[in-house]
Chains A and B, each alone.
Chain A
Amino acid sequence: MTPFTYFRPGDAADAQSRGALPGAKYLGGGTNLVDLMRESVERPQTLVDVTGLSNSIEERPDGSLLIGAAVRNTALAENRAVRMRFPLLARGILAGASAQIRNMATIGGNILQRTRCTYFYDRDGARCNKRSPGQGCDARDGFNRMHAILGASPACVATHPSDMCVALAALGAIVHLQSAQGARVLAITDIHRLPEDHPEIDTVLAPGEMIAAVELPPLPFAVRSTYRKVRDRASYAFGLVSVAAAVDVDDGTIKEVRLALGGVAHKPWRALTAEAALKGKPAGEAVFWAAGEAELSAAQPLSHNAFKIELVKRLITAVLLELTTIPS
């Protein structure tokens, strides 16, 4: 591991002035960054440990939640308001990693974690445009079973690995950003980029910009929501594909629906095409299937992952059937 300076800031302003230094990175639980530093994929000169900042989950009168970026994954999943009102988020978090990792990992770090593409990790043995820009991509014609089917580019076919972010995308979460230049808010779906010609840039965050909090806007029908993940093992494995969904059915008609997909793209994928195809239609298997087909019509499989297209359609249908047929 390359030597670095470790710094624990006293407050957010302190953190942001240090975070703006060249070669500085913010450190959350370390479950991804420490691993990448050991593999020499990441070589920060300064680590700014932000786990002492913004640790609270605030329930606001309007029904929204404001979640500090340093809240641990376990703390968010066990929070009563999350379990009662945003079950897809609790389910999403609990589908990810192991209990030990969830105890360490923060919300901000979960959002900013990097792909688990094995070619990205293999510094000595593989070419990767995300790790070493311009080098080429060995995943595109390699073992790409885990890779993207939507929004990929010739330069990169990696997926974003988070489960939690898929639930946040469905919920329309708002990310509160801070830097020495000021504060701004962005929708979670505007945080991560598609790879295009610059897969080395994961997000739109400016250098030194820090996630301060994540806001869940009120969404009363999210009480009827869930997250389902398909993976090679029953537990403790990254997803092949996943679906986060919330649906509001009135007298058999879909009034409102939120749908997001994981394991399919370089970012958590809000399925807006499918949502549009569902709204106002009668809830039922044929309608659900058609919505999945509409969303996946743009899918472009690689040599080993065409199965994901069929799998996502089935998963969307199964999840929506579960949510619309089982009484809450």
Chain B
Amino acid sequence: MSITINGSVVELPSDARVSLLDYVRDHLLLPGTKKGCNQGACGACTVLVDGERILSCLALAIQYAGRSVTTIEGLASNGGLHPLQQAFIEHDGFQCGYCTPGQICSAIGMAEEVKRGVPSHVTARLTDDLIALTHDELRERMSGNLCRCGAYNGIVKAISGTYASQAPK
């Protein structure tokens, strides 16, 4: 059985116990995806599966056979950083950098959810099909990604600078 990682089709491990996180880090030697808590509490291991953000530590790699996974290593194109990667640099969206790959993958998935009209806990009217990415919406939607350095102000600026203007007013 195979899986697509950053555009390359690769074989899945024969041991069903291998998490998607350990698979990309230890088997494919893509260490950008980080192991923080390894129990679904911190978001450092966030990757995109067919564009949707998930926690790779709580995923068995074999569950995602046939799917297409994007890790932080797969975001740059033609030698240029993804606009959100660039924004994290410009806004000091990190200190130690350990949560950053998860923050960036998570925010990319989040932007798609907002575009699709997925409501959040702080969305006032569930009847609205269009949602603006306000400060409160952004904070709530990114609550699954912790930053122990407390670089949240820069993280919020980087994400809102990249995506807030795309959301309907």
Please report A residues at the B interface, Cβ cutoff 8 Å: 1, 3-6, 8, 27, 29-31, 34-35, 38, 47, 49, 51, 74, 77-78, 80, 83-84, 87, 90-91, 94-95, 97-101, 103-104, 234-236
Contact = CB atoms under 8 A, between A and B. Distances in A.
Contacts of B144: 97-101, 236
Sort chain B's interface into a size bin: 35 or more
B76 interface: no
B85 interface: no
Nearest to B116: A78
A163 to B, nearest CB: 10
Contact of B16 (A6, A87, A97, A101): A6
Interface stretch (B46-54, B147-155, B159-167): B46-54
B22 to A, nearest CB: 11
21 contacts: A6-B60, A8-B65, A30-B63, A35-B58, A49-B63, A51-B63, A74-B113, A80-B129, A83-B119, A91-B121, A99-B109, A100-B43, A100-B55, A100-B106, A100-B144, A101-B58, A101-B144, A103-B54, A104-B59, A234-B143, A236-B143
Contacts of B9: none
Q: Which 7 A-B pairs have the closest CB atoms?
A: A98-B144, A235-B143, A6-B16, A83-B126, A236-B143, A78-B118, A94-B121
Contacts of B19: 34
Interface of B: 15-17, 19, 38-40, 43, 46, 52-55, 58-60, 62-63, 65, 106, 109-110, 113, 116-121, 123, 126-127, 129, 139-141, 143-145
Contacts of A83: 119, 126-127
Given A91-B126, A97-B144, 20 more contacts: A3-B16, A4-B16, A6-B60, A6-B63, A30-B63, A31-B58, A34-B60, A38-B38, A74-B52, A74-B118, A83-B119, A87-B126, A98-B145, A99-B110, A100-B43, A100-B106, A100-B109, A101-B40, A103-B54, A236-B143
A234 B143 CA distance: 9
Give the residue among B59, B113, B116, B144 with the most A Cβ atoms within 10 A: B144
Contacts of A27: 63
A80 B129 CA distance: 9
B113 A4 contact: no
B119 A104 contact: no
A8 B39 CA distance: 24
Given A98-B143, A99-B110, A236-B143, A34 B117 contact: no
A78 B117 contact: yes
Given A5-B16, A87-B126, A235 B140 contact: yes
Contact of A103 (B39, B52, B60, B119): B52
A144 to B, nearest CB: 21
Contacts of B46: 100
Contacts of B54: 100, 103-104
A100 B116 contact: no
Given A77-B119, A98-B144, A103 B59 contact: no
Contacts of A84: 126-127
A29 to B, nearest CB: 8
Nearest to A8: B65
Nearest to A98: B144
B104 to A, nearest CB: 13
